[in-house]
Structure 1
Amino acid sequence: MLNILKSTPVSVPLLTAVIYVLLSLSGQYLSAENIGTDSVFLVIIIIQIIVFAVPSFIYYGLRGGKLNYPVISGKISGNTVLFTAGAFGVVFFGSLVIKLVFYSNGVEVGNDKGYMDALFAMEDGKFGMFLAYALVPALCEELFFRGIVFCEYKKYGSLNSIIISALYFTMVHFTADGFLIYLFAGFVLGAVTSVCRSVWPAVVIHTLFNSYSLYGSTTFISTTVFNTSPLFVGFVLVVLLLLASVIMLARLELIYSSYSVLYKDEPLQEKSVNHLYIYITPALVVPIAAFIIINALT
């Protein structure tokens, strides 16, 4: 048992806990900021870089630029592009289905409308919001959660690395009503990174999803439900979700068919079921404990 504990990641969970603390501190700072200041978008961008990108690059440098499963410089092919498009459809329509379920039960899942309206009203508000709330967070978060966390857990099985990176991703964005959406999105983003062997498709999906969220995904649900019915809207969304899944799975088959030739000499990946012990290791508890304590105190 001692040997097992020694072989599990320690630095990544600790780094994740540090990021949770930095994120909490930055949230306290931003809450005291005047939203009307011209520098609000720049401040948000700088904070995200400090919280996510800087620790990621420091960790990457300390590892000598070598991770267990590097995905920073993966190759992109035609099948990868279509697979990514299908995956975006899965995240997009899947999140709408989840939001519809909440909305039908009287719970709205979305951004603070008053806060967003104030940002939009600012000069260059739309472009500034895109950078601060869509592009930069997608890039910084994917570099950490998929570029670092996913990669370092990959040797314990693809499914384990997807689940753990999705769990950490969800805790960073945690809200009671948004838990399922972020967990679902994190799982798909991890799967995309695993299949494409590159973090960049996940960055694209994340950016597009953030962009849509800015422009009123909750408004879309409430408007369509108001004009029709939850049952009809749900039926249409589920059909679209299934179509996106078919595209994703069809391209998945072609991608792995090509991998069987390109990586025929590569050893088989570890089975996740053989490494379930990573879920009960002390190191994994650290970021979870940090998350619970921070949320209890704020």
Structure 2
Amino acid sequence: MKVRASFLSPLFVLILYILALASGLLQDKLISGGNDPCLSVIIISMLVYIIPAIIFCRLKGVGYSAKLNIKLFSPGKLGCVIMSSLVLICGTVLIRSAQIYLGGTKEPVFSMFGEYLNAAQGAEFLPKAMAFAVVPAICEEFVFRAILLTEYNEGGFGAVTASVISSLLSAMMFFDLEKLPVFFFCGIICCLVTYVTGSSLTAFIVHMLFGFYGIFAEKYVTRAIINPSNRVISLFTFSLLFLVLAFIMLSEFEHILRKNGKSGVPTPSYRLKKADDGETPDVAATEEEEEGTKKVIGDRTKMNIEAFFSPTFLLCILFFAAAVFGFS
């Protein structure tokens, strides 16, 4: 019996949630025991993400890894990747500005790495910064963009549903309500660039560049937006930058998709059961076409309900809420 992606994928993520909470205690012990925080991050990431993901892929059978879109991309798509990273950074600044102005915490999103990096000196700083930016990007994108997007696409749920669920599940992984919008937006951008470029490696690069921003620049940007004398000019500047960069990013997307269309490269599409069971209806049969369209829309609605109201997906949300507001 084949288990539906709407049930299996959130169940897999729920296991990661449990491991993530348990690893928090292990990480504290590793660091308090005098171990290198950089090494601790790598060990925890392996235990929480990589090992379970490898087991999941092995259980899916031979040839599953070939479906994950972990492949090189052409240099012409690099502009799309860079623009997506800049849009992500500017969008994050706007989200954090809104949160701060509404009374949220003024700590940077990546403040969890601050104390370890501040303690690093000289030659120690760069390797630790690399570990905090690169390792999480590899682990999270492998799970949430390579595996989860593949699962939902193979299950016929489509790009939009796959992107929203993948982004929400990845954002809840941090068990922080205030950081949820930031990492959800990060997930959406990574999903977009994955679908457009056809490679999950592009999402890894976007996530990695976002991590470098968080480590090297976010604290300075946060100081600027919390300064009352800079609020108006900061908000105006980043809003304008966001709009301009988003326009350029969408133009890059359009260029790539148009090029794919001319060369016959398949673009993201829904894999839903058609009313005609795969046979192309007669063009003249208007009524049959309309019935087929209604059936496709109906199937899409049913599959969206199945995905968003899956018992395991709801369990992930409940687990996140319990972790954030305290287990009773």
Report the TM-score when normalising by structure 1.
Answer: 0.87
2:5–2:151: 8 Å Cα contact kept in structure 1? no
Give the deviation of 1:159 after TM superposition.
Answer: 0.3
Q: Is the 8 A contact 2:84 2:193 kept in 1?
A: yes
Structure 1 residues 222 and 104 mapped into 2: Cα distance closer, same or farther (>3 Å)? farther
Matching of residue 239 in structure 1 with residue 240 in structure 2 = yes
SS of residue paired to 2:178: coil
Pick 1 or 2: higher relative contact order, CA cutoff 8 A, min separation 6.
1
Alignment gaps of 5+ in structure 1: none
Q: Which residue of structure 2 lines up, in the alignment, with residue 256 of structure 1?
A: 257
- Residue 89 of structure 2 is aligned to residue 92 of structure 1: yes
- Aligned residue number for residue 297 of structure 1: 327
| Aligned-residue identity in percent | 22
- Contact 1:103–1:222 (CA under 8 A) maintained in structure 2: no
TM-score, normalised by the number of residues in structure 2: 0.80
How far 1:20 sits from its partner (Å)? 0.5
Matches within 5 A, 1:143-158: 143-154=142-153, 155-158=156-159
Output aligned runs, 1:21-32, within 5 Å: 21-32=18-29
Structure 2 residue identity aligned to 1:152: E
User: Structure 1 288/206 Cα, relative in aligned 2: closer, same or farther at 3 Å?
Assistant: same
2:118 equivalent in structure 1: 120
| Rounded Cα–Cα distance in structure 2 between residues aligned with 1:25 and 1:9 | 25
CA pair 122-32 structure 1, distance change in 2 beyond 3 A = same
Q: Which residue of 1 aligns with 2:135?
A: 136
- Unaligned stretches of 5+ residues in structure 2: 273-299
Tell me the matched-pair count.
295
- RMSD of aligned alpha carbons: 2.9
Counterpart secondary structure, 1:76: coil
Counterpart CA distance in 2 for 1:267 and 1:127 is: 38
Q: In structure 1, what residue type is equivalent to 2:303?
A: H
1:204 shift after superposition: 0.7
Determine if the alignment matches structure 1 residue 284 to structure 2 residue 313. Answer: yes
Distance 1:168 1:187 in 2: 11
Which has the higher Rg, Structure 1 or Structure 2? 2
Confirm or deny: 8 A CA contact 2:158 2:269 kept in the other structure.
no
Instruction: State the AA in 1 paired with 2:327.
Output: L
Q: Secondary structure at the match of 1:229?
A: helix
Query: In 1, are the aligned partners of 2:175 and 2:323 still within 8 Å (CA)?
Result: no
The DSSP-based 3-state class of the residue aligned with 1:297 is: coil
The SS at the match of 2:164 is helix
8 A contact 1:104–1:230 mirrored in 2: no
8 Å contact kept, 1:99–1:218: no
Superposition pairs of residues 180-195 of structure 1, within 5 angstroms: 180-195=181-196
What is the rounded CA distance, in whole Å, between the counterparts of 2:113 and 2:195 in structure 1? Answer: 36
SS at match of 1:253: helix
